[in-house]
Amino acid sequence: MPEPQKTTFAPQLNIQSGVTNIDFYINGFGAIELRKWLNDDSSIHVAELSIDGAVFHLHEETLRLGSFSPERHGGTTTTVGLFVPDVDAFIARAIAAGATEISPAQDYDYGYRQAKIKDPFGHLWMIEMKI
């Protein structure tokens, strides 16, 4: 008998049309590319990635459906929270690969160590761990 699937959360992040290189996520986040679908011009239509088993998707923006990349409007309405074993090491790797630090890692009285970065495609990430 197959094991029942558990509920998981897999955000879909929109990227501008024409993007061909998503190596930032592999080099900066240690993501593994699970699969991807390309357009006729070899740009990315959809890519499925995983960071230590946490799956997320990159999808080219679809203007007619109101799915915009952060670059189109100079901002985003979402911050993706990613819990990792070592915030400082994760942030250092991401910044070395091209992320921009928004707020440095620090401990908060509610029991988390957190830092915020922006990836090269304009997505905001809250990198965090329980302390």
Q: What is the largest CA-CA distance in the chain?
A: 51
pLDDT tens-place string over residues 43-89: 999 999 999 999 999 999 998 888 999 998 999 989 999 999 999 99
The per-residue pLDDT for 3 is 80
Full set of structural domains in the chain with CATH: 12-130 (3.10.180.10)
Give kind and range of the element (H or E) at residue 34: strand 32-38
Whole-model pTM: value is 0.91
Helix, coil or strand: residue 17 = coil
Bridge partners (DSSP) listed for residue 117: 101, 125
The per-residue pLDDT for 61 is 94
Comparing CA positions, the residue from 123, 85, 71 lying closest to residue 102 is 123
CB 96 within 8 A of CB 82: no
